[in-house]
Amino acid sequence: MSSEKYTLKQAKTAKRIIKYFAKFQASIFLISKGKLWNKWPGGFPIMVVETKGAKSNKIRNIPLIYVHQEGMPILVASLGGMPKNPNWYYNVKAHPTVKISTIEGHGNYLAEEVSKEKKDELWPLICSFYPDYETYQSNTAREIPVFLCKPA
């Protein structure tokens, strides 16, 4: 772990930009049934995670890098290594039943946050899907949360 690379002010600005980009990307992905905007910049496949707002109970669609273990989705709450968790993290904690859409289809899952030990075990696999996660973790003192999803 290191100290924070980003200030809270920088993180707030980045969070706002990411929010609008994510909303647009998720919408295009879902409308096109995964045919359009199905990759993160750099060519990494995405999944769209449908959550229910922790406070608002509104449906939220979040595009994340499609990381999985034997077909079971893994959600990585990195927010690019910012000092705070992404908003969707709190949504999933409050409402762990999520819908996940990939280019192959969609399904309902129960997301369970893994222990530090399990995260350490999964981390090489996670980084094999998206190597920048290693940089993100080194950019923040917080432990980036990880959820393993199982069919609901």
> pLDDT by residue (tens digit) across 129-152?
999 999 999 999 999 999 999 999
Q: Are 132 and 81 in contact (CB under 8 A)?
A: no
In this predicted model, which residue has the larger pLDDT, 3 or 110?
Answer: 110
Q: Do 50 and 100 meet the contact criterion of CB atoms below 8 Å apart?
A: yes
Let me know if domain 8-151 sits in CATH 2.30.110.10: yes
- pTM for the predicted model, two decimal places: 0.89
How many residues would you count in the chain? 152
Residues above pLDDT 70, as percent of the chain: 99
pLDDT of 14 higher than 80: no
Task: Encode pLDDT of 76-94 as tens digits.
Answer: 999 999 999 999 999 999 9
SS3 of residue 85 by DSSP:
coil
Pairing outcome for strands 59-65 and 67-69 = unpaired
